[in-house]
Structure 1
Amino acid sequence: MMVSDESSAVAGSRRWWARAAFAFAFLAAATPLVFAGLLGTVGLLLVGVGGVVVTVAALYWFIASRGLLRWVSLTVAVLSPIVVLILFTRADLLVFVVASVVLAFLSVLCARAALRGRPSDTTVREVAAPPARHPVLIMNPRSGGGKVAKFDLQRKAEELGAEVVLLEGAGAVDVTDLARQAVERGADLLGVAGGDGTQALVAGIAAENNLPFLVISAGTRNHFAMDLGLDRTDPSRCLDALVDGVEVAVDLGRINGRPFVNNASFGVYAEVVRSPAYRDDKAGTVLQMLPDLLAGQSGAPLVTRIGDVTVRNPQAVLVSNNPYGTSDLAGLNRRDRLDRGVLGAVTVSVASARQAIGLLRRANVRGLTQHTTTEVIVDSDTPQTPVGVDGESLLLPTPVRCTIEPGALRVRVPRDRPGVRPAAPTVDWVRLRELAWHRRPG
């Protein structure tokens, strides 16, 4: 009875959030109509939409051109919103535009509150885990700007009974060999304090030997740790899993047999990162290479097979271990779950300013595709294809095959941890209408 009452309360709350979303949306549309009239509102829309279109087109030409045209395009991109603001101000309509934008923002917030899933939708099943007898932790002292030393991870881990192996002179050390040697010495848990690329390689060895794997968030971005719900501000808290931990089974991606925990990227990003100049001058290298890459004058054309779907000549392909959320333009924010047993696949094809503008409406199907599948094959007419795998630049034999291994990795996490913050849901007005007025989909 108590569960039923709780479910009814949640349903009622979501219903009122949905109704509030419609109310704010109505006010956002009505505000300019009331204060500016029909003709004024049409003018506002034309000026506002025109400003956005011009800005997006100019930004595309900025990244796709060189020389004078590039800097003219940048000037237009900067001046366009300024001109729009001046026009609104001179017409005494700026305050109504701002009010309408604020109301629209509130509408989106309410819509997401109504559509957000239950906490159980992002909760991975946990099982009890006894303390490890011989845990071996591999630590990279240089990772994350020296977080191993900053948080005194080696000493704290050794005090908890772990054997710590430091990656000294990493250029000559194969981390997979270190992990295999640890298994031969009788390790019953493998862990890594380092970047996601290092995490993935050791995770692969742990999965092969059916050993629990410990993630210590000592990298720069720690995307894998974030999607596991670990503390990224204090990596030493991850060590709590050694004494008071639980296990969760998550999926492991494979790219030509190599493990990955986050994603593999093909096309523009992989080509840029591969450049020797990228580390010393990231922005300059991107601006130098993008025009040829977007025009197809450098880099091999890709053919991507996503299940039964074939996408030809995309500029960028991203394959992820479980799909990312879909609330932003490309669907690349965070993953609610790591145990769905599928890959996420996003392709982007933007060969003109028109296609770039089409992405704003998500109407350009060829320009942006999003899928879930169990296999992605990326082919080209070259023997090797550049790929960015968990942030590391690699050259892999063509065709490149990405697969998913459901529940292959046993991850040991602290019982007490921040948890996964759900990705913001896509605003679906049809579903909102059903929530607001109890209408069921047909």
Structure 2
Amino acid sequence: MMNVQAWTARLSFVLATAAAVGLLLTAGLRSFTLLGIGVGGLMFGAAAAWWVLTHHGMVRYLAALLAILVPVAVLVRYAVVGMLWTVIAFVALWTLATLAGRAALRADSPTPGPTEYVTPPPAHPFLIMNPRSGGGKVGTFHLDDKARDLGAEVVVLDPDHPQDVAELARDAASRGADLLGVAGGDGTQALVAGVAAEKNLPFMVISAGTRNHFALDLGLDREDPSTGLTALTGDGIEIRVDLGLIGDRVFVNNASFGAYAAIVQSPHYRDDKVGTTLQMLPDLLTHHGGPRLTVRAKDLLLDAPQAVLVSNNPYQGGDPAGLGRRERLDSGVLGVLGVTVANAAQAAGIIRGRRSQGLTAVTVTEVVIDADTPEIPVGVDGEALMLPTPVHCHIEPAALRVRVPRNRRQAPKSKPQMNWRRLTTLAFTRQKPTPLNA
């Protein structure tokens, strides 16, 4: 039987070889110059973007102009020497080689899913729904009526009269609720999830929020949140996931510190997000404004990062921002991502990804964020808070019972970094066939 993984690895080598040979045959020794021009233009463009973010006035406008003109100039240079399509073909083939290589490496490291527990459906489920979340998904999909038809007690929040959702959940638990659920944003989900963990009750997520990060990583359908209600029936199962804690407050996604957390605290942010960000970033990124942070986690000591993200389980690799999806929610560790950029050269280096000098990524069970101020702004699952320093974050493994539909989407597989040595082993080492009865 054909080993698909091995052939995918071989395809990666074929495409990479075709890219390199094609460039050498058409450009000869000029191919090295062409690659140098492209890499140099990319790095200079990233540096110009850094100047845009760290300056005001004329310097910002000139840097923005450079960020646009540099890549255009590179393309014009390729066209003038008659190599534009050659370079485009090289980039396309190399991209396909990378995709094939990552697919082979991903298959080589399968991700185990969380253990599933078959439990009877809840007899007295209690759901809290926010009618404004996600642009009104509760009303659009008639989630309250459908939930009541399945025997749930539903409280639809009144946006004009804020209520304490944690207290609503505790009251429901005291009255005999055997499941607590939320149709709303991640911040509301975190508050009720904390009560569910405290009472050892199953928790249920209905993907009626705007971003639905937690629901997405649970494998729920974000397009039709009503499908999540099947978890209330016999088609539901339970899984155990971790919870992040910042002090004694639960977070299901992440807690952010530094530049972003400071910006969202501004009273002008909601009315003018772009303008407020551009106005505040220069001082925050150059340490002329905002608190100076210190991060301590296990063997890590990170001094004066501009931004820190602490996540309930690490985000997938492969992107500099670290804001993709989480491969698992039950690994028992926090993901910590710190951004420390002192100059344009380090900003340009970030395009290399997580291994860049300006990016620090680790997994730990606890982390402490301190500052030179008595309190700091923090974004906790999208909620803007001010917390006293030092701020302690830790993880509670398998703390939350989550009831989900049996037929949900599989957890996303990570995007592994290219490892040509491992790829060579997969492609050219003869592997024994797996017995059919294994």
Q: What TM-score, normalized by structure 1, do the two folds share?
A: 0.94
Aligned counterpart for 2:18 among listed residues 21, 27, 35: 27
CA change 1:368–1:232 in 2 (3 A) is same
Q: Does 1:346 align with 2:321?
A: no
- Secondary structure class of the residue paired with 1:421: coil
Q: Percent identity?
A: 56
Match of 1:278 among 258, 269, 284: 269
What is the CA–CA distance in structure 2 between the aligned matches of 1:421 and 1:339, rounded to whole Å?
14
Give the 5 Å matches for 1:278-317. Answer: 278-317=269-308
Query: Shift of the alpha carbon at 1:79?
Result: 1.0
Shift in alpha-carbon separation, 1:20–1:207, aligned structure 2, 3 A? same
Task: Pick the aligned partner of 1:197 from 180, 187, 200.
Answer: 187
8 A contact 2:318–2:354 mirrored in 1: no
Alignment of 1:219-234 (within 5 A): 219-234=209-224
Give distance in 2, aligned partners of 1:221 and 1:82. Answer: 34
In 1, Cα distance between equivalents of 2:220 and 2:109: 16
Structure 1 partner of 2:104: 114
Alignment of 1:54-69 (within 5 A): 54-69=44-59
Deviates more, 1:50-59 or 1:430-439: 430-439
* Deviation for aligned residue 1:120: 5.7
Indicate which of 39, 42, 46 corresponds to 1:52.
Answer: 42
Q: Give distance in 2, aligned partners of 1:279 and 1:348.
A: 24
Deviation at 1:362? Answer: 4.7
The answer to whether the aligner puts 1:379 opposite 2:367 as a matched pair is no
Q: Give distance in 2, aligned partners of 1:230 and 1:427.
A: 30
Query: 1-side partners of 2:161 and 2:344: how far apart?
Result: 42
- Indicate if the aligned counterparts of 1:193 and 1:216 stay in contact, CA closer than 8 A: yes
Q: State the distance in 2 between where 1:261 and 1:153 align.
A: 23
Deviation at 1:436, TM superposition (A): 1.8
Task: Specify the SS of the correspondent of 1:403.
Answer: strand
For 1:363 and 1:202, locate their aligned partners in 2 and report how far apart those are by CA, in whole Å: 34
- In the other structure, the counterpart of 2:346 is 355
Deviates more, 1:156-165 or 1:169-178: 169-178
Q: Give distance in 1, aligned partners of 2:33 and 2:89.
A: 17
Where 2:195 maps in the other structure, the secondary structure is: helix
Is 1:327–1:427's contact at 8 Å kept on the other side of the alignment?
Answer: no
Q: Say whether residues 1:332 and 2:323 are aligned partners.
A: yes
Deviation, 1:367, is 1.1
Give 1:19's aligned amino acid. Answer: R
Aligned-partner Cα distance in 2 for 1:51–1:106: 22
The aligned counterpart of 2:403 is 412
Deviations along 1:397-429, one digit per CA (max 9) or x if unpaired, are 111111000000000001122332323222222
The amino acid that maps onto 1:316 is A
What is the number of residues matched between the two proteins?
430
**Structure 2: distance between partners of 1:389 and 1:409:** 18
Aligned to 2:386: 395
SS at match of 1:126: coil
Structure 2 residue matching 1:136: 3-state secondary structure: strand
CA distance in 2, matches of 1:420, 1:381: 40
Instruction: Tell me the equivalent position of 1:41.
Output: 31
User: Residue 433 of structure 1 contacts residue 439 of structure 1 at CA under 8 Å; is this kept in 2?
Assistant: no
Shift of residue 361 of structure 1? 3.0
Tell me what 1:217 maps to: 207
Q: Distance in 1 between matches of 2:306 and 2:168?
A: 37
Match of 1:88 among 49, 65, 78: 78
- Greater shift, 44-53 or 317-326, is seen at 44-53
| Matched letter for residue 81 of structure 2 | A
Distance 1:137 1:119, change over 3 A: farther
Distance 1:41 1:120 in 2: 38
Taking the aligned partners of 1:378 and 1:439, their CA distance within structure 2 comes to 49
Cα distance change on mapping 1:122 and 1:144 into 2, 3 Å? farther
2:118 equivalent in structure 1: 128
Shift of 1:99: 0.6
Assess, with a 3 A threshold, how the Cα gap between structure 1 residues 428 and 163 changes in structure 2: closer, same or farther.
same
Q: How far apart are residue 151 of structure 1 and its match? A: 0.6
Q: Which runs of 5+ in 2 are unaligned?
A: 432-438
Aligned-pair CA distance for 1:119: 9.1
Shift of 1:381: 1.7
Q: Distance in 1 between matches of 2:280 and 2:161?
A: 27
Instruction: Give, in whole Å, the separation in 2 of the partners of 1:111 and 1:275.
Output: 44
Map of 1:237 onto structure 2 = 227
Task: Give the CA deviation at 1:351.
Answer: 2.1
* Aligned pair partner of 1:142 in 129, 132, 136: 132
Q: Deviations over 1:356-393 (max 9, x none)?
A: 01222358754111101100100012111111111111
Aligned to 2:259: 268
Structure 1 residues 35 and 391: alpha-carbon distance in aligned structure 2, compared to 1, 3 A threshold: same
- The 8 Å contact of residues 318 and 353 in structure 2, kept in 1 or not, is answered as no
For residues 221 and 141 of structure 2, the distance between their equivalents in structure 1, rounded to whole angstroms, comes to: 13
CA displacement 1:63-107 (0-9 Å, x = unmatched): 111001101111111111111111111111011001101101110
Displacement of 1:170 after TM fit? Answer: 6.3
In the other structure, the counterpart of 2:63 is 73
- Structure 1 distance, partners of 2:390, 2:421, is 41
